[in-house]
Amino acid sequence: MTETGELTYRRVHRASPELLFDCMTTPEHLAHFWGPAGTTTPVGNITIDLRPGGVFETTMVNDADGSTYTMRAVYVEIRRPELLVWIEPGVEGGMRTTITFVDLRDGRTEVVTHQTNVPAAYLSAEARAGFATGLDRLDVYLAGLNARQEHRHD
């Protein structure tokens, strides 16, 4: 059996829990930021059946060489806007991802991503840094959404 571990990522975003939840569960949003820098995930490569037992699948494309990586998961628990839980059964041990959206009551939300049964390959500094670039891409996307929202109110 391969060694597994746990990872926790915390990031505060300038957005409501509802918007962040929607960004994480809508292909049209996910396509803008899903995956590490240097990859794209076209909207047509994203399947979301947002219910317990429903499928969550993404296929990222490496911008440099066109290679692909597919993530297949099954939703376990969904409570909009505070909780998303899925399991990737194809990953040894069934990697479990729990995302908690904590409203900071000032226009910001802390997003805590906790993963268990994480394979050793995902625990490397390089893999963790790649995950962090996906969070950076989400921040850039949210800033654009916020700017468009503010522009509409002018």
136, pLDDT greater than 80: yes
Structural domains in the chain, sorted by start: 4-152 (3.30.530.20)
For 22-51, what is the mean pLDDT? 97
Contact partners, residue 73, CB within 8 Å, separation at least 6: 55, 56, 57, 86, 87, 88, 89, 97
150, pLDDT greater than 80: no
pLDDT tens, 48-100?
999 999 999 999 999 999 999 999 999 999 999 999 999 999 887 799 999 99
